[in-house]
Chains A and B, each alone.
Chain A
Amino acid sequence: MPLLDAVGHYSVRQAEYLGALAIQLWRCLRFTIRAHPFGRRRLRWKRVVGQMAEIGVHSLPVLCLVSGATGLIMALQGGAELRKFGAMDAVINLVGTSMTRELGPLIAAIVVIGRSGSAMSAEVATMAVTEELDALRAMALDPVDFVLVPKYLAMLVMLPCLTVMAVFSGILAGGVFTYYSLDLTLIQYFLRTGDILLMRDIISGLVKAGIFATVIVHVSCLEGFLVRGGPVSVGRATTNAVVKSIFLVVLADLISTAFFYFYWR
């Protein structure tokens, strides 16, 4: 039964992968709690700040462009349909809610996967290939503690921040559309958006960003940690990290959206 065999092997491999992710997450959380800035782990905080700049500040321009363009596209596409019903006003609802709840976190996550997730997995994979991870272990330093925790902390802070910026620039771009087609000033537009948005929308967007941050860092670093062999495997790890992160981010998005839909109306 070669088909059954293949299915079985595949399932076992995927289950193993999820198990590895879970173990890594658990160990990372334990180290994260201990990594407060007042202890002797001074170096960690330097690394966290460095990572924050790398993940956050440097990806801000491209993120704002992508998110702004998406906001404008949403407004144009929505406007074209809504005009038929004489409900152009609803463009404000459309852009505001979809950006805050859904597109802001998702666009931020995908931009960060492309910029930082791939870089992280390449970095960790290179460390594995050049025996740097072994050197860490031999020095009684845990690679999860030393390599992953700073990245995780930085991502956990920066991705929600980036999400806020993405949401803002998306909504701003929608405002440009309404300025010309609805004769609303930007201030009026923002006031109406503020009326439409609920606290629930904003919180659910930020919670999603936190979940995505966890998924991105852990998948990217795990791909790096699992590397054995030469430089070819570094490239493969990077590809895998990006593909798996995008898939798992979308899956996590679906699950959390369903959760908010059913349990928090």
Chain B
Amino acid sequence: MASTKTRPIEKFAKAASKCSAEAAAYGKCVVADYNAVQKDMCAKEFMKLKDCFLAASKKP
């Protein structure tokens, strides 16, 4: 594997790092009640994070 080539995970990490505000909101939502986490408990916050991530990963 050539080290000059960007690995997909690096692109992923770069895009994720641009959404720290949304990530913090989602993280807070999950951690606030981490003993009783259920599926889609923070779906709304996650969708915001995902939208931000998708927008960030489209930018070159």
Do these two chains interact? no
Q: Please report A residues at the B interface, Cβ cutoff 8 Å.
A: none
